[in-house]
Amino acid sequence: MRMQDIRKEHNFRELGGYVTENGRIVRYGQFYRSGPLGKMSAEELAFIESLGIRHIFDFRSDTEVRELPDPEIHGAVYHQINALTDSEGNPVDFSPKAIDQADFSDQKGKDFLEIMYGNLPFTKAYVEMFEAIKKKETPILFHCTAGKDRTGIAAVLILILLGVDEQTALDDYELTNDYRTAAIERFLKKMEAFIGENEELRHSLRGVEGVNRENAELSLQRIRDRYGDYETYFKARFGIDEKMQAELASYYTCEAR
């Protein structure tokens, strides 16, 4: 089995192959991102196990984990810490049931997006993930319920840390829409009566099963609002100063052939 044989609905992919701003290539086989492992087939799980994953970071809430526990991946240390919290650090339930009951209209929808994407860059879950990266304990796999929001922002941050430009990192985030096309279409069809002719609402609701680039841009803007630049953010949040960032970028990238 190959990575491309894993069903696209799982949003399973890696960060290897992206070109950094200084022309190096992010090394393959280091950083894997995914939806929940509990929906994988035995064959898919066997392939994932063959990758030699050392750490799995599950960014889901306790409710999500109870509803669909991760299967054991031999050789991997499992870390479960909810990446979604409010501004005071309280956990937010992001289970499918909670999403179905959420009000995405007008101001309530905007408030929800601010809580989610405005707070994601400052979650403790990413601190734990970056500790493994700092220690070079890779390969790692990180995931949530759809592998798109909490997982997507984690991927953006890793790519930026390694020297990939912001727009390319956001392109990786937006690639989720190619992997989850069927889920997006099913959800929008279910919401058709509610959406009507409101194309702005249709676009906003696409982010329930897919992603909207501006949501990730909001996360990055909140980093700049609080810290001014990414270098200050990585040092303050993860203890990665300029020297360490250069070291990690060198280790996790290679010369282009």
Query: pLDDT digits over 172-204, tens only?
Result: 999 999 999 999 999 999 998 888 888 888 888
Domain extent, residue 77, equals: 3-254
Three-state DSSP class for 213? helix
pLDDT at site 113: 74
The strand pairing partners of 78, in sequence order, are: 56
**Which residue's structure tokens are 């052939």?**
257
- The distance of Cα 74 from the centroid of its chain, to the nearest Å, equals 23
- Supply the CATH number for residue 45's domain: 3.90.190.10
Structure tokens at 250: 């060198």
How far apart CA 181 and CA 177 sit, in angstroms, is 6
Residue listed under structure tokens 């399973």: 12
Query: How would DSSP label each residue in 45-80?
Result: HHHHHTTT--EEEE---HHHHHHSPPPP-TT-EEEE
The count of domains in the chain is 1
| Residue-level pLDDT at 69 | 96
Task: Please state whether 17 falls in left (phi above 0), alpha (psi between -120 and 50) or beta.
Answer: left
Give Cβ neighbours of residue 203 (< 8 Å, ≥ 6 apart).
212
- Look at residue 98 in the predicted model and tell me its pLDDT: 52
Beta strand 25-26 with 253-254 is: antiparallel
- Residue 151's pLDDT is what? 97
Provide the pLDDT for residue 90: 65
Structure token pair of residue 168:
């390319």
| Weakly modelled stretches of the chain, pLDDT under 70 | 86-111
Other C-beta atoms closer than 10 Å to the C-beta of 167 total 8
d(CA 158, CA 226): 19
pTM over cut 0.85: yes
